Amino acid sequence: MEEISRKMAKGAAWMIVARMSDRLIGLVSTVILARVLVPEDFGLIAMAMSIIAALELLGAFSFDLALIQNPNAKRRHYDTVWTFSAIFGATYAVMLVLLASPAAQFYNEPRLAAVMEWLALGTLVGGFTNVGVVAFRKEMQFDKEFKYILSRKLVSFIVTVTLALMWRDYWALVAGTLAGIVGAVLLSYMWQSYRPRFSLAARGELLRFSKWLFFNNLIFFFNTRLSDFVIGRMGGPHSLGLYSVSLDISNLPTSELAAPVNRAVFSGYSKMAGDLPSLRNGFLNVLSVIVLLVLPAGAGITVTADLLVPVVLGPNWMDTVILIQILAWYGVCMAVQTNTGIMFVAMGKPQVLTALAGGYLVVLFPSMAWLTLQYGAIGAALAVAGSALLFLPINYYVLLSSIELQLSRVLAVFWRPAAATAIMVCIVEVIEWQLMNAGEPLAPLLKLLLLIAAGVIAYVATLSSLWRLANCPDGPEQFIWDNVIRRLKVLGWKQ
């Protein structure tokens, strides 16, 4: 189990680097595109992508997780998954073309039809992605997963930004999306030697495990995409564009950090499922890393949003400030409870995850409809953030009961990062107040960089002090400290 834990830690590090590289490229792309395109362009693409996501529910069985969770997966399992993917991709493409005109009428947006017809090509091609890349995660070869993720992102980035600077309209986003899909398919065969064949030999075995994941993905779609339909219908592409970009920016350092960690550790959880003490320790170790990263990130986004928006997005996007501040805490709430969901799947209890997600939807749907009607995009942000906060203790109660874990051990993971985050926020607020009242006002970019630097220093210093006061217990601080010392020794440093 120690070897599995070591691979989980290494894999989580690789996936964090991969995700942050991916999102950094995305952030640079957004910064450039926000100055070339308008909110309506982003909203139009968000409308199309929400419809594609809805169609993809037909094949949302998460067969990749079934392959990882099954220790005896053979070629017939991989080939069956690939065949299903190809069939679903072709089905999505046909349905997208058929739904193009009705969708344009629903949103009262004539441009949407042509966009959907072109994106149908992407769903067709994407269905033929090499299923062999799942083995990167199953076998914990996360360095290969990193190269694959980064390469396909770079393809989309280069095409999107280049065409946006040339065309200066939403077609650059369409072309970039298509380029990313085609690039991902080609790269999947370049990076993985496995060559799939058409077969449905293992369909029964796969469907028995994945049926609950299908229902969970169905509910997850409504939980995450409901806002696209509601805001798009009520507020049009402008409001949806503001909300979509706000969600991307606000969740960049929170749920976007938790996702790669969860992606990396799922295979480890699956291997530990029969050893409850090891599973509990593995969960706490992963949770401690997530909490240490996302609490200061979410708080930092909130306190600097008024500077972040004009510097990163430009003056046309000032309406996103309040949205980013609300959605940043939604990201934190989701980040610290996503780890609970993959625990249930790894233990072979996907039905529990489905039930919890269904309860979340029951709360989200009426609150989203009412608050969006009353307050527009801000109401939608309040609905998702409030629902996530409400279900945070519920998710933990169910999981802790299932794995017989005391609440005190979970709280021990939270208290040092939470205290360090609170002190960080106070220091940043004081510095910002002093800068506002200074005789010579600083340029916004310089001011933002100064506040970020102050926040990072304050958080790291406070967290390390609290860790030492607690007699240096095992945890992410110890892991980071050991790795820093190891790197310094490699460079010739002596204690």
Is residue 305 a contact partner of residue 328, using CB atoms and an 8 Å limit? yes
Is residue 236 a contact partner of residue 375, using CB atoms and an 8 Å limit? no
Phi, psi of 288 (to 5 degrees): -65, -35
Q: How far is CA 217 from CA 61, 286, 384, 402, in A?
A: 7, 23, 17, 22
Spatial separation of the C-alpha atoms in residues 309 and 316, rounded to whole Å: 9
Spatial separation of the C-alpha atoms in residues 173 and 166, rounded to whole Å: 12
310: helix, coil or strand?
helix
Spatial separation of the C-alpha atoms in residues 431 and 450, rounded to whole Å: 9
Residue 407 CB burial class (10 angstroms; 0-12, 13-18, ≥19): exposed
Q: Residue ranges of the domains in the chain?
A: 2-405, 427-495
Q: What is the pLDDT of residue 238?
A: 76
**pTM of this prediction?**
0.66
Burial 25-34 (b: 16+ CB within 10 A, else e): bbbebbeebb
Q: How far is CA 98 from CA 8, 55, 91, 102, 118, in A?
A: 44, 12, 11, 8, 12
pLDDT tens, the chain, 495 aa long: 445 555 555 555 555 566 666 667 776 777 788 788 877 888 888 888 888 877 776 665 667 777 776 777 788 888 998 998 899 899 989 999 999 999 999 888 899 999 999 999 999 999 999 988 887 776 766 667 777 777 888 888 899 999 989 898 889 999 998 998 999 899 889 888 889 999 888 887 777 766 666 776 667 666 666 677 777 777 777 787 888 888 877 776 655 566 656 656 666 676 676 677 777 887 888 888 888 888 998 899 999 998 888 888 887 788 889 999 999 888 888 888 877 877 887 777 777 877 888 888 888 888 888 888 888 888 889 998 999 899 899 989 998 888 888 888 888 888 999 999 999 999 999 998 888 776 667 788 888 899 999 999 999 999 989 988 888 887 677 766 666 555 555 555 555
Q: What is the pLDDT of residue 473?
A: 80
Q: What is the pLDDT of residue 178?
A: 93
Scanning the structure block, which residue is given the tokens 């005789």?
Answer: 439
Q: Of 65, 337, 82, whose CA–CA distance to 185 is shortest? A: 82
Spatial separation of the C-alpha atoms in residues 308 and 447, rounded to whole Å: 10
